[in-house]
């Protein structure tokens, strides 16, 4: 990897388990990745693969029945390195990081804003807890944030309630809220799933602009391959709580090596290829998290399954940037040479 | 609304056996009194006229602000109301105050400590509070605090020579707390479920992701939103509170409108019954208006557009 100073967040062998009815769901089961400053890492995978739990773990916003089991989350704050997993869940230090150094945008802007407070009030809460601005300065900052997000008439809009905002505007307000304290890392958990396609593009443009201007590292969680192609610098593909393939966007999208990544890419229709293109859905469905296959989690749905897949494959570094978790990666990677 | 209900109550009174005159005469006199004498008395009170005529007379004078006279005592009803209404209002407002504060705070505590011992015991207490009738609590409370422990007086409102506010407080504590109990239990259960519902919503996570302390997340973002349905519930329970005061006033000899109501119904004192029941209807209607205004204050989504 590159110079260590570039890395804003480093996750190593992270395990987050859920405990319900005396059963244990290994939602995140040994995940490692790095997020570089000013770069976008996309985490892709189908529903329930542990993407959102990974995000919630970094923010320590896990529900009560779950906990970080193992691993470390190292966050670089200026020159110090903070081990997030060691901080108390709602303790002072964790709260200082939340919202100011690491901020988060949620999936559904319709429900993520509190309906009984004005948008301005909700943005100002962030500033109130993490800066020393006075009331007037906070208000000015809120207006300028809304203005930056392209909300018309911000002086008027700042005093309005979320219900008079449209979906796209609410998500902008959410981003304004998240960006209020210039966070070093922005976690966006499927920020556009609930929005129109045209609004999606605007939101992503906005995020890209912020990334370039503020050198913010972005962790973008999505299952939309188009979004990945558009925005990602690095990509991590998750399946059943593991990262099965990771690398630069070029590595993963142009030279997919894990059968799951290939299958994901083949299941997306491509605009302009016409009606007769082959779309191959992945056969079967994700296994029950309480009744996992042994060895490679994807094996039962994989076309290339062999006996060796009964053992969990190790992460293998194909080249400097590209890594994969598959026994037969050589066979797949051959073709790209 | 007022009109329909007043007519219904009037009809109900008409259908019940006996009238004011038959209650005025003591049993000893009843054997000696003649039918002519009874009729004469009825005529004096205007009871010999038809049902509709009497209703009309009552209605027109009521609209003009004349509540008439009680048939049992001959006292002006307005005078009775001036004496009894403040007593009842005092009792129910104090009860409302206690039950709202206690109910909401216990409900929130219960929700925040979900599944703990505190939550479970509050839940059991809440169920008991909802299901056990008030007069039972009233009697138990008298036995315990007034007779056994002798901390508080048995009943009554104003005693001679006890005129300062401080002297009056011990008298109101028992009846208002007992009256508040059922309402508290209901408000608590409701506040708890409403709070749990809100705490599971996404904006709570958003609030937490801003790095705010837990109390601010829970109270400012959680409770504020959870409050709306609780306020509506308390508003709908308000008539219940006043209805409940009828029983409590009996138990504690509280000289309020509730005990007056019971006496007037027993005596078929229809002008008084009519006035009091109209007042109940009025209170219910006012309560729902107040609730509408309050919900709009709490929840901006309910507010009307300003433009």
Task: Give the pLDDT score at A43.
Answer: 92
Q: Does pLDDT of B162 surpass 60?
A: no
Query: Which range has the worst mean pLDDT, A38-42, A228-232, B35-39, B163-167?
Result: B163-167
Q: In chain B, which residues have their Cβ closer than 8 Å to the Cβ of A99?
A: 209-212
Task: Give the pLDDT score at B306.
Answer: 44
For residue A33, give the H/E element and its range. strand A23-36
Condensed to tens digits (0 to 9), the pLDDT of residues B209-253 reads 888 888 888 888 888 888 888 888 888 777 777 777 777 787 777
Residue A190 gets the label, from left (phi > 0), alpha (psi -120 to 50) or beta, of left
Q: How confident is the model at residue B21 (pLDDT cuts 50, 70, 90)?
A: low
Q: What percent of chain B has pLDDT over 70?
A: 77
The rounded mean pLDDT for chain B is 76
Q: How confident is the model at residue B74 (pLDDT cuts 50, 70, 90)?
A: low
Better pLDDT: B225 or B69? B225
Find how far residue A20's CA is from the centre of its chain: 25
Better pLDDT: B94 or B252? B94
Whether residue A108 and residue B202 make contact (CB cut-off 8 A), yes or no, is yes
Q: Which of A183, A200, A176 is nearest to A118 (CA)?
A: A176
Q: Find the mean pLDDT for residues B280-302.
A: 81
Task: Give the pLDDT score at A235.
Answer: 92
Task: Give the pLDDT score at B45.
Answer: 66
Whether residue B211 and residue A113 make contact (CB cut-off 8 A), yes or no, is no
Inform me whether the C-beta atom of residue A152 falls under 8 Å from chain B C-beta atoms.
no
Residue A168 in contact with residue A202, Cβ under 8 Å?
yes
CA distance A198 to A195: 8
Task: Give the pLDDT score at B307.
Answer: 38
Q: Which of A116, A101, A35, A98 is nearest to A62 (CA)?
A: A98
Taking only residues 174 to 213 of chain A, the set having a beta carbon closer than 8 angstroms to any beta carbon of chain B reads 174, 177
Nearest residue in B to A105, CA atom: B206
Inform me whether the C-beta atom of residue A163 falls under 8 Å from chain B C-beta atoms.
yes
- How far is the alpha carbon of A273 from chain B, nearest alpha carbon, in Å? 39
Query: Which range has the worst mean pLDDT, A114-118, A122-126, B77-81, B101-105?
Result: B77-81
Residue B194 in contact with residue B112, Cβ under 8 Å?
no
Whether residue B224 and residue A116 make contact (CB cut-off 8 A), yes or no, is yes
The sign of the CA dihedral A70, B208, A23, A52 is negative
User: Within 10 Å of residue B233's Cβ, how many Cβ atoms?
Assistant: 19
Instruction: Determine the residue among B113, B116, B200, B211 to mutate to test chain A binding: the one whose Cβ has the most chain A Cβ atoms within 10 Å.
Output: B211
Whether residue B211 and residue A111 make contact (CB cut-off 8 A), yes or no, is no
Residue A300 in contact with residue A293, Cβ under 8 Å?
yes
Can you spell out the DSSP letters for A70-111? EEEEEEEETTEEEEGGGS-TTSHHHHHHBTTTEEEE-S-HHH
Q: Does pLDDT of B17 surpass 50?
A: yes
Residue A207 in contact with residue A105, Cβ under 8 Å?
no
ipTM of the complex: 0.78
pTM of the model: 0.75
Inform me whether the C-beta atom of residue B114 falls under 8 Å from chain A C-beta atoms.
no
Q: In chain A, which residues have their Cβ closer than 8 Å to the Cβ of B214?
A: 90
The rounded mean pLDDT for chain A is 85
Q: In chain A, which residues have their Cβ closer than 8 Å to the Cβ of B307?
A: none
Q: Does pLDDT of B93 surpass 50?
A: yes
- pLDDT per residue rounded down to tens, chain A (337 residues): 344 678 888 888 888 888 887 888 888 888 888 888 888 999 998 888 888 889 888 888 888 788 888 888 888 887 788 888 888 877 888 888 888 889 998 888 888 888 888 899 998 888 888 888 888 899 998 999 898 888 888 888 888 888 888 888 888 888 888 888 888 899 988 888 777 788 888 888 888 888 888 888 999 998 888 888 888 899 999 988 889 999 998 888 888 888 888 888 888 877 777 777 777 778 878 888 888 888 888 888 888 888 888 888 888 888 888 888 888 887 777 777 6
Whether residue B299 and residue A115 make contact (CB cut-off 8 A), yes or no, is yes
3-state secondary structure B186-222: HHHHHHHHHHHHHHCCHHHHHHHHCCCCHHHHHHHHH
Task: Give the pLDDT score at A220.
Answer: 92
Torsion of CA B153, B156, B157, B163, to 10 degrees: -60
CA distance B78 to A98: 64
Residue B23 in contact with residue B268, Cβ under 8 Å?
yes
Q: Which of B11, B13, B25, B8 is nearest to B272 (CA)?
A: B13
């Amino acid at each position: 990897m590159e110079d260590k100073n570039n890395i804003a967040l480093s996750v190593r062998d992270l395990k987050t388990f859920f405990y319900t009815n005396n059963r244990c769901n290994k939602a995140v089961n040994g995940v490692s990745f790095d997020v570089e400053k000013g770069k976008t890492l996309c985490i892709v995978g189908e529903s329930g693969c542990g993407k959102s739990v990974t995000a919630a773990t970094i923010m320590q916003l896990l529900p009560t029945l779950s906990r970080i089991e193992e691993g470390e989350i190292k966050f670089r704050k200026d020159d110090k390195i903070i081990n997030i997993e060691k901080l108390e869940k709602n303790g002072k230090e964790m709260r200082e990081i939340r919202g100011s150094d690491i901020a988060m945008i949620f999936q559904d802007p319709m429900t993520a804003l509190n309906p009984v407070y004005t948008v301005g009030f909700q943005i100002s809460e962030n500033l109130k807890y993490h800066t020393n601005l006075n009331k007037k300065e906070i208000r000015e900052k809120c207006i300028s944030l809304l203005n930056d997000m392209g909300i018309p008439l911000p002086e008027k809009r700042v005093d309005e309630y979320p219900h008079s905002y449209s979906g796209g505007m609410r998500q902008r307000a959410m981003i304004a809220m998240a960006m209020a304290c210039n966070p070093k890392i922005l976690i966006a958990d499927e920020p556009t799933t609930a929005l129109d396609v045209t609004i999606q593009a605007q939101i992503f443009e906005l995020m890209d602009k912020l990334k370039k201007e503020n050198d913010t590292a972005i962790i973008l969680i999505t299952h939309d391959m188009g979004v990945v192609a558009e925005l990602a610098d690095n990509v991590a593909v998750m399946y059943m709580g593991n990262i099965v393939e990771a690398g630069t966007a070029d590595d993963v999208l142009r030279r997919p090596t894990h059968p799951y990544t290939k299958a994901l890419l083949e299941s997306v229709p491509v605009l302009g290829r016409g009606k007769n293109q082959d779309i191959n859905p992945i056969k079967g469905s994700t296994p029950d998290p309480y009744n996992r296959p042994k060895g490679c989690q994807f094996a039962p749905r994989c076309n290339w399954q062999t006996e060796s897949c009964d053992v969990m494959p190790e992460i293998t570094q194909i080249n400097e940037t590209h890594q994969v978790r598959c026994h037969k990666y050589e066979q797949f990677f051959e073709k790209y040479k | 609304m007022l009109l329909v209900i007043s007519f219904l109550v009037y009809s109900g009174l008409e259908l019940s056996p006996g009238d004011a005159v038959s209650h005025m005469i003591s049993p000893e006199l009843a054997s000696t009194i003649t039918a002519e004498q009874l009729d004469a008395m009825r005529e004096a009170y205007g009871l010999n006229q038809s049902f509709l005529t009497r209703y009309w007379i009552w209605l027109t004078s009521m609209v003009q602000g004349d509540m008439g006279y009680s048939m049992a005592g001959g006292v002006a009803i307005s005078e009775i109301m001036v004496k009894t209404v403040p007593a009842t209002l005092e009792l129910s407002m104090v009860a409302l105050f206690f039950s709202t504060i206690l109910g909401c705070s216990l409900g929130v505590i219960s929700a925040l400590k979900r599944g703990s011992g505190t939550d479970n015991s509050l839940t059991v207490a809440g169920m008991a509070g909802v299901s056990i009738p008030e007069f039972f609590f009233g009697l138990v409370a008298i036995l315990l605090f007034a007779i056994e422990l002798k901390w508080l007086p048995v009943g009554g409102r104003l005693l001679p020579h006890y005129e300062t506010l401080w002297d009056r407080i011990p008298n109101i504590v028992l009846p208002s707390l007992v009256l508040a109990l059922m309402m508290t239990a209901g408000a608590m259960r409701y506040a708890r479920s409403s709070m749990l519902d809100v705490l599971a919503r996404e904006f709570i996570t958003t609030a937490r992701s801003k790095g705010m302390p837990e109390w601010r997340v829970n109270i400012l973002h959680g409770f504020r939103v959870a409050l709306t349905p609780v306020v509506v519930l308390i508003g709908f329970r308000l008539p219940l509170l006043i209805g409940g005061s009828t029983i409590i006033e009996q138990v504690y000899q509280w000289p309020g409108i509730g005990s007056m109501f019971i006496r007037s119904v027993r005596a078929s004192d229809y002008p008084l019954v009519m006035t009091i029941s109209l007042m109940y209807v009025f209170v219910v209607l006012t309560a729902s208006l107040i609730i509408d205004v309050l919900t709009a204050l709490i929840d901006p989504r309910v507010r009307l557009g300003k433009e």
